[in-house]
Amino acid sequence: MIERAFEFSQPRGARSWYSLLKLIDTTSGKYTHDIPMPPSVPNSSGALFTWPDGTLQNRIGFWKGNVAYVVHTDSFTNDLSALGVSQAVTEYANAPSQTEVPPGAGRVVNDWLRNIGIAVGIVVVALAIVTTITIVLVTRRRRPATFLVGGPTMSPDGAYWWDGQRWRDASVEAPASAPRSPDGAHWWDGRTWRPLPAARPLG
């Protein structure tokens, strides 16, 4: 069994360190499953890891006040989760709610954690911007060019189009300037494709 304690000048430092360790644990390739933690150890999490040589390793982390704690148990044959949880319960019960830290102590680590948070935020924002730009560009490439061409002025109900002097029935004739589909069977009214009306007989 291995036990570690990381002391910070403020509780937020302990919370950030605990969150970082939890993220590292859950994204590890050796991560197997979570270890349930009892209500008596709030702000805690546990994970079981299986290593290539068969070693079963338990990591239990929690924070209390300005200190983050980690309990490791390793075994080649047995899952020692219960032992690790029991030790975490004992540690939490006996840990002080706050420790006295000399002025300036832990400043380097706190600043480092803050910088990591800022860097992660910048990366997330950058990824969001790149994703948005990519979606816009792909959407524009897939959109047919004819969709960018304006159609005629249509009546509110879409039944008529304006030729500059009077309203014409869209079911009878289509504007000569309206875009046609590649097969010549439809015309674009600015919002949707319409079937091209059959040609009226002469005379």
Q: What is the 3-state secondary structure (H, E, C) of the chain?
A: CEEEEEECCCHHHHHHHHHHHHHHHHCCCCEEEECCCCCCCCCEEEEEEECCCCCEEEEEEEEECCEEEEEEEEECCCCCHHHHHHHHHHHHHHCCCCCCCCCCCCHHHHHHHHHHHHHHHHHHHHHHHHHHHHHHHHHHHHCCHHHHCCCCCECCCCCEEECCCCEEECCCCCCCCCCECCCCCEEECCCCEEECCCCCCCC
The answer to whether 133 touches 141, Cβ cutoff 8 Å, is no
Is residue 201, in this structure, part of any structural domain at all?
no
**pLDDT at residue 135 is higher than 80:** yes
In a domain, 203, yes or no: no
Q: What is the pLDDT of residue 110?
A: 62
pLDDT, position 70: 93
Q: What percent of the chain has pLDDT over 90?
A: 20
Looking at residue 46, what is its pLDDT? 92
Same domain, 139 and 57: no
Residues 63 and 97 in one domain: yes
Please check whether residues 19 and 89 belong to one and the same domain.
yes
**Residues of the domain holding 139:** 106-143
Burial class of 173 by CB neighbour count within 10 A (0 to 12, 13 to 18, 19+): middle
Neighbours of 48 (CB within 10 A): 20
- Domain count of the chain? 3
Among the candidates 102, 128, 157, a domain finishes at: 102
Residues 183 and 136 in one domain: no
Mean pLDDT of 77-102: 87
Average pLDDT of the chain, as a whole number: 84
Structural domain contains residue 191? yes
Task: Establish if 47 belongs to a structural domain.
Answer: yes
Per-residue pLDDT band at 148 (split at 50, 70, 90)? very low
Looking at the structure, tell me whether residues 7 and 23 fall in a common domain.
yes
Q: Tell whether 151 and 96 lie within a shared domain.
A: no
Answer yes or no: is 127 within a domain.
yes
Q: What is the pLDDT of residue 30?
A: 86
Mean pLDDT calculated for residue range 7-12 = 86
| Amino acid in position 50 | T
Mean pLDDT of the 27-37 span? 89
Residue type, 190: G
pTM of the model: 0.48
53 plus 33 within the same structural domain: yes
pLDDT for the residue 146: 43
Mean pLDDT of 157-176: 89
At residue 129, does pLDDT exceed 80? yes
On whether residue 128 sits in a domain, the answer given is: yes
pLDDT of 145: 46
CATH number, residue 51: 3.40.1000.70
Question: Which pLDDT band holds residue 68 (cuts at 50, 70, 90)?
Answer: very high
Task: State the pLDDT at residue 147.
Answer: 45
- Answer whether residue 106 shows pLDDT above 70: no
Q: Give a yes or no: residue 135 inside a domain.
A: yes
pLDDT at residue 41 in the model: 93
Q: Is residue 138 part of a domain?
A: yes
